[in-house]
Structure 1
Amino acid sequence: MATLLDLESGPRLCVEDVHITGHAQPITLRSYRPASDGTLLPIVLYFHGGGFIRGNLDDADTAAATIARDTPAWVVSVGYSLAPAYPFPAAPEDGYRAVQWAVAQARAQRADPQRIGIAGHDAGGNLATCVAAIARDRGDIRISAQVLLAPLLDPSMTRLADERKVLCPDLEASECARCYRAYLPNPSQRLHPYAAPLESRRLAGLPPALIASAEHDLLHIEAEKYAGELIAAGVPTEVTRHNKASHNALAAHPDALADVVAFFRKRLARAK
């Protein structure tokens, strides 16, 4: 059943949960669609955080609703399968199926399947860039922009910031390691380019990126390192570090979300 979400400003959103066939089990997508003014909307897929082992569609609500309202865009939030019950590659394959579903439904939603963005926070940032790589490699869907908010990108955990130099981090290294063990139970998976973006030597051809890191986050170094790797591969990339922000807070950080909206408005604009 669709519901109408009233926001503080801007148009109301039609919010609806949809069930589709995932890689290993049925998954739920949450659609956020602004009222149509007759123009085609871009499409944005959004992936919640939770370290691959927890999190849900409600966690993504602030980011998804903000992107839908302010871009404006048809946003599809992805309730992907979680480890350890469903380890890699269930989550990225769920993500790719969600993109395929959105493309198939674009006409009915008055959306443009040629203007697709992808975004995520924490583990969702990993999934966003990995699904973009899958789409590039399979060649049937073109993703035009990617946004990564405090992403988990390095299962080797060799690029973490010094815990003694990060003020009150809300994600500890031990917790990060536990999440990776659940998501990638086979050690060889920790080098797979669809699981470990920082280990990939095939970054060329990925969509333009916005990467947002948080000052009080042990992962800010790997996020910024990935930005450098994308730039070296020829991918147009913007990177921002949000001062006084923590890892978990970045998912709903007003300044970060304003940057996300501005990036999608630029990268998903209609051709003139």
Structure 2
Amino acid sequence: MLDLEQTPRLCIEDVRITGHAQPIVLRSYRPASDGTVLPIVLYFHGGGFTRGGLDDADFAAATIARDTPAWVVSVGYSLAPLFPFPAAPEDGYRAAQWAVANARGQRADPLRFGVAGHDAGGNLATCLAAIARDRGEIVVSAQALLAPLLDPSMTRVADERKVKGTDLGLSECAKCYRAYLPNASQRLHPYAAPLESRRLVGLPAALIASAEHDLLHIEAEKYAGELIAAGVPTEVTRHGKASHQGLATHPAALADVVTFFKKRLARVK
């Protein structure tokens, strides 16, 4: 849990909204107002679609809110296996709708909207960007993905014998995917398997952070290449001495996210 005494410049509060299959909780992080109109960033925690929660996202969400600065809304999305796909991305879409509807009251700009996430949250962030593109109601301008889970087929992974210091095993990852996507056909759905999607054109500018000690760094970097091939402005960085789970609070990775959002969500003068 974030030490709130260490974030005196942020107003942090929880809000309950109607989700896809059940009520969900959002955690709002808003910098102390100085009259500046803020961009909006939706943040999704990790946990392999089956665990984790808002407390796990506290450090990253508060850092982005404070240092960008931005109004950050962390999404307590529904978890599998009780709530499998598409509950989580649809929860994310409802959170985005709520943020846009409440932007004015938070001194935020609904036209400067970004998404970010770690692990399963990285999957949900980029899938939400695709959903928003397709539905045409919300404009997402930037996506930042930290060690994202992108390939339910798990066919683009590193050799377990060659990657040292891993903290995410392939068997555990496969178990999480089975819980989230119980039907085999779902594992090719573009809103669940971004790396399988052939419709990447029109997605927002992307920052992808991978970790040296992560068996999934290959799929993250492969996705960056696919986005570039589709004409999406994309930055990708592999962080040395970092692990999959550790990337969620990695100072250099979060500094890159802040720099990325400052650039991509800057106010047009």
Output the TM-score relative to the length of structure 1: 0.97
Q: 1:183 aligns with which of 172, 180, 183?
A: 180
Inter-partner Cα distance in structure 2 for 1:7 and 1:69: 11
Assess if the C-alpha contact under 8 Å between 1:52 and 1:183 holds in 2. Answer: yes
1:45 maps to which residue?
A: 42
**Once the two structures are aligned, what percentage of the paired residues are identical?**
84
1:63 maps to which residue?
A: 60
Inter-partner Cα distance in structure 2 for 1:65 and 1:33: 9
Alignment of 1:48-127 (within 5 A): 48-127=45-124
Inter-partner Cα distance in structure 2 for 1:158 and 1:195: 15
Partner AA of 1:85 in structure 2: L
2:257 maps to which residue?
A: 260
Partner AA of 2:4 in structure 1: L
SS at match of 1:132: helix
1:225 aligns with 2:222: yes
1:141 maps to which residue?
A: 138
Inter-partner Cα distance in structure 2 for 1:13 and 1:66: 10
Deviations 1:181-224 (A, max 9, x none): 00000000000000000000000000000000000000000000
**What value does the CA root-mean-square deviation take over the aligned residues?**
1.2
Q: How far 1:39 moved relative to its partner?
A: 1.4
2:27 maps to which residue?
A: 30
Deviations 1:131-173 (A, max 9, x none): 0000000001100100000000000000010001100210000
Inter-partner Cα distance in structure 1 for 2:4 and 2:114: 22
Partner AA of 1:27 in structure 2: I
Deviations 1:80-130 (A, max 9, x none): 000000000000000000000000000000000000010000000000000
Inter-partner Cα distance in structure 2 for 1:25 and 1:261: 32
Q: How far 1:12 moved relative to its partner?
A: 1.2
SS at match of 2:242: strand
Inter-partner Cα distance in structure 1 for 2:157 and 2:239: 17
Output the TM-score relative to the length of structure 2: 0.98
Inter-partner Cα distance in structure 2 for 1:5 and 1:115: 27
2:4 maps to which residue?
A: 5
Assess if the C-alpha contact under 8 Å between 1:6 and 1:13 holds in 2. Answer: no
Q: How far 1:5 moved relative to its partner?
A: 3.3
Moved over 4 A (4+): none
Assess if the C-alpha contact under 8 Å between 1:145 and 1:208 holds in 2. Answer: yes
Partner AA of 1:40 in structure 2: V
Unmatched 5+ stretches in structure 2: none
Inter-partner Cα distance in structure 1 for 2:206 and 2:212: 19
Partner AA of 1:63 in structure 2: A
SS at match of 1:81: coil
Q: 1:192 aligns with which of 189, 193, 205?
A: 189
SS at match of 1:165: coil
Partner AA of 2:184 in structure 1: P
SS at match of 2:25: strand
Q: How far 1:6 moved relative to its partner?
A: 3.7
1:128 maps to which residue?
A: 125
Inter-partner Cα distance in structure 2 for 1:147 and 1:117: 8
1:246 maps to which residue?
A: 243
Unmatched 5+ stretches in structure 1: none
Partner AA of 1:160 in structure 2: V
Inter-partner Cα distance in structure 1 for 2:147 and 2:165: 16
Q: 1:207 aligns with which of 200, 204, 216?
A: 204
Partner AA of 1:231 in structure 2: I
Inter-partner Cα distance in structure 2 for 1:237 and 1:173: 27
